Amino acid sequence: MEMVNCKINGIAVSVPKGSSILEAARKAGVEIPTLCYMKKINEIGACRICVVEATGARGLVTACVYPVSEGMEVKTNTAKVQKARKTTLELMLSTHDKKCLSCSRSTNCELQKLCREYGVEESSFEGYKPHYELDTSTPHLIRDNNKCILCRRCVAVCREQYVSVIGPNDRGMDTSIGTAFKVNLSEVPCISCGQCVAVCPTGALVEKDDTDKVWAALADPTKYVVVQTAPSIRATLGECFGLPIGTNVEGKMVAALRRLGFDKVFDTNFGADLTIVEEANELVERIKNNGVLPMITSCSPGWVKFCEYYYPDMIPHLSTCKSPQQMVGAVIKTYYAEKVGIDPKDIFSVSVMPCTAKKFEIGRDHQNASGYPDVDVALTTRELARMIERAGLKFTALPDEEFDSPLGEDTGAAVIFGATGGVMEAALRTANDWLTGKDNLDIDFHAVRGTDAIKEATVEINGMNVKVAVASGGVAANEVMKKMQSGEADWTFVEIMGCPGGCVNGGGQPIQPQYVRDTVDLKAVRAKALYDQDAAMTLRKSHESPVIKTLYSEWFDGFGGHKAHHDLHTGYVARKK
């Protein structure tokens, strides 16, 4: 590999030929501020915040796209550079809605941080300031173009998700980011993944905040308020309170939820175990009875919506299993309600999810096993963090507590649901035992682990070579579906997650600055916390869970029964693009 030698603020550094000044600076330990840049996704040099001085260049150049050359000397913080950046920030503020006090991104806003660093409080540029109506048409997010800085990160990540339902409209001062023909987001094939929210540097894109509904329920003496938390939340919530990425905060999370006033704190992991049992049973039945194969997982509502929009002819391949969130909700308002003698109409069921698409999912058809919604409100990780902060809880000082029984007990198979490949591995553990009729000790399917967008493996089960595939993110999902549609692939079972890396990288997870997203493999670090917990557990197969066994014997009349199908399965609809 040909290397290029240069200097960043006098620091000698050697980088591969073709590297940008930004990459060279990072190698030298110098951070150049950016707003539009996203490594390998949005390298467009549009925001002009990363300008620097470089020998051989005419004027200031954008570090994120300008390549280094042999002997180049770069200055990243000269008076000229700082003045240019400050002017750019003032220009951004001239059209920006500066309601920082009430903005959910206050103190975690990249624009706000740069303005503070460069001493920018107001803009000296006054004049035309466009006004935009909020787009609140979807269940999962709010678009506020009055806070948009036209960085186009959301456009780039939406393209990376294959759907590309947003882009720039108009020109000049009238440029705005939105849908084609400026229709509401609800009128385009958005899959509700929320990846745009996760990368937005300001408060222009935020999830719909449903915490007031939860506060109201907690204050209502007629309501029995229960909460469930998804597998990945324990590996990410701590980031909102300054803990290192990948810290498992399960115990403190439970303690916080209990102190918020929830009557019961349950674990969606129980629903993950339940999903695996149902999904494995469905897969075995399809294999034995020549059913539609490959069967595709249905845990990710963003992926399900993707399939309904872009591959409606492939809907028969989708597992009919509800997601773990919905299964837990269904069991809470049926089995659990009867067990504790509470009318399901008096139960207010809350979920804490890594995913903005969960807000859409709770309103889908066939999500009301008891006659009432399986889940009443779905919160993101960020919303829970805001509730904890509002309640004045010192999260890091809380003791570790355990989930409530019986819907708080789980296996290691459930824990790994939050990582791409986790659902596949959990299902294989159960399917392997059921098809071989024995308790297999080798249960770590490493071939489906890792953060690659697409993974393929062949697993031998009971003399059969079972071919499987795992995909995460819209582009990967599209590639896998094209292979299936053309008949090129001969997989038996396919796992697809709507978000790259799976739930640990969901659109509702803690916001990390783009610098962190560029330099830390969030997907891998967060997933490690889940795999570590799985490895440390005694029970690591969903079908071995005592609670699952009890549920099926007391309520569902055994595996594959009619009642289980009624409460735990759903249907899908072809959507028009």
Give the C-alpha separation, 463 to 299, whole Å.
28
Summary mean pLDDT of the chain: 96
Cβ(552)–Cβ(279) under 8 Å?
no
Give the C-alpha separation, 300 to 423, whole Å.
10
User: For 178-192, what is the mean pLDDT?
Assistant: 97
Task: Say whether pLDDT at 137 is over 90.
Answer: yes
Give the C-alpha separation, 342 to 370, whole Å.
12
Give the C-alpha separation, 446 to 448, whole Å.
5
CATH 3.10.20.30 fits 91-207, yes or no: no
Residue-by-residue DSSP string for 235-275: GTGGGGGTPPTT---HHHHHHHHHHHT-SEEEEHHHHHHHH
Q: Which three-class secondary structure state does DSSP give residue 457?
A: strand
pTM of the model: 0.96
The fold of the 3-77 domain, in CATH, is: Ubiquitin-like (UB roll) (3.10.20)
What angle, 0 to 180 degrees and rounded to 10, lies between the N-to-C axes of helices 474-486 and 301-310? Answer: 50
Residue carrying structure tokens 């999962």: 140
Give the chain's largest Cα–Cα span: 78
Give the C-alpha separation, 330 to 374, whole Å.
5
Provide the token pair at 567. 């409460």
Q: Which band of pLDDT confidence, cut at 50, 70 and 90, is reported for residue 124?
A: confident
pLDDT value at residue 441:
86
What angle, 0 to 180 degrees and rounded to 10, lies between the N-to-C axes of helices 381-390 and 250-260? Answer: 60
> What does the domain layout of the chain look like in residue ranges?
3-77, 91-207, 212-568
Residue carrying structure tokens 């035992």: 433
Question: Would you say the CATH fold of 91-207 matches that of 3-77?
Answer: no
Residue carrying structure tokens 């408060």: 203
pLDDT value at residue 462:
83
Give the C-alpha separation, 493 to 482, whole Å.
15
Radius of gyration of the chain measured on its C-alpha atoms = 25
Task: Say whether pLDDT at 280 is over 90.
Answer: no
Lowest-pLDDT range of 102-106, 287-291, 319-323:
287-291
Task: Say whether pLDDT at 442 is over 90.
Answer: no
pLDDT value at residue 132:
96
pLDDT value at residue 283:
87
Whole-angstrom CA distances from 487 to 313, 424, 464, 468, 491 are 13, 21, 20, 15, 10
pLDDT value at residue 560:
80
pLDDT value at residue 72:
98
Give the C-alpha separation, 400 to 184, whole Å.
44
Provide the token pair at 186. 């609800």
The length of the chain, given as a count of residues:
577
Q: Which band of pLDDT confidence, cut at 50, 70 and 90, is reported for residue 356?
A: very high
pLDDT value at residue 307:
98
Task: Say whether pLDDT at 460 is over 90.
Answer: no
Residue whose C-alpha is closest to residue 507's, from 471, 469, 472? 472
Give the C-alpha separation, 231 to 229, whole Å.
7
**Within 13 A of 187's CA, how many CA atoms are on the CB side?**
8
Q: Which three-class secondary structure state does DSSP give residue 193?
A: coil
The percent of residues above 70 in pLDDT, for the chain, comes to: 100
Give the C-alpha separation, 396 to 126, whole Å.
44
| DSSP β-ladder status, 454-461 and 464-472 | antiparallel
pLDDT value at residue 179:
97
pLDDT value at residue 327:
98
User: For 343-368, what is the mean pLDDT?
Assistant: 98
Give the C-alpha separation, 303 to 193, whole Å.
8
Residue whose C-alpha is closest to residue 38's, from 522, 504, 525, 515? 515
* Segment 386-420, tens digit of pLDDT: 999 999 999 999 999 999 999 999 999 999 999 99
Q: Is cis: bond before 373, omega within 30 of 0?
A: no
CATH 3.40.50.1780 fits 212-568, yes or no: yes
- Give 569's strand partners: 321
* Segment 83-100, tens digit of pLDDT: 999 999 999 999 999 999
Give the C-alpha separation, 550 to 545, whole Å.
9
The edge-to-edge listing of strands for the beta sheet with 61-62 is 11-16, 3-8, 73-75, 51-54, 61-62
pLDDT value at residue 561:
85
Residue 419 DSSP code: S
Stretch (H or E) spanning 351: strand 347-353
Give the C-alpha separation, 251 to 274, whole Å.
22
* Segment 11-49, tens digit of pLDDT: 999 999 999 999 999 999 999 999 999 999 999 999 999
* Sequence letter at residue 12: A
Give the C-alpha separation, 440 to 505, whole Å.
31
Residue-by-residue DSSP string for 93-129: HHTS---GGG-TTTTS-HHHHHHHHTT--S-S--S--
* Segment 204-249, tens digit of pLDDT: 999 999 999 999 999 999 999 999 999 999 999 999 999 999 999 9
Cβ(377)–Cβ(228) under 8 Å?
no
pLDDT value at residue 577:
82
Lowest-pLDDT range of 116-130, 321-335, 336-350:
116-130
Residue whose C-alpha is closest to residue 533's, from 335, 329, 315, 246? 246
User: For 538-547, what is the mean pLDDT?
Assistant: 94
Whole-angstrom CA distances from 86 to 125, 283, 342 are 12, 59, 60
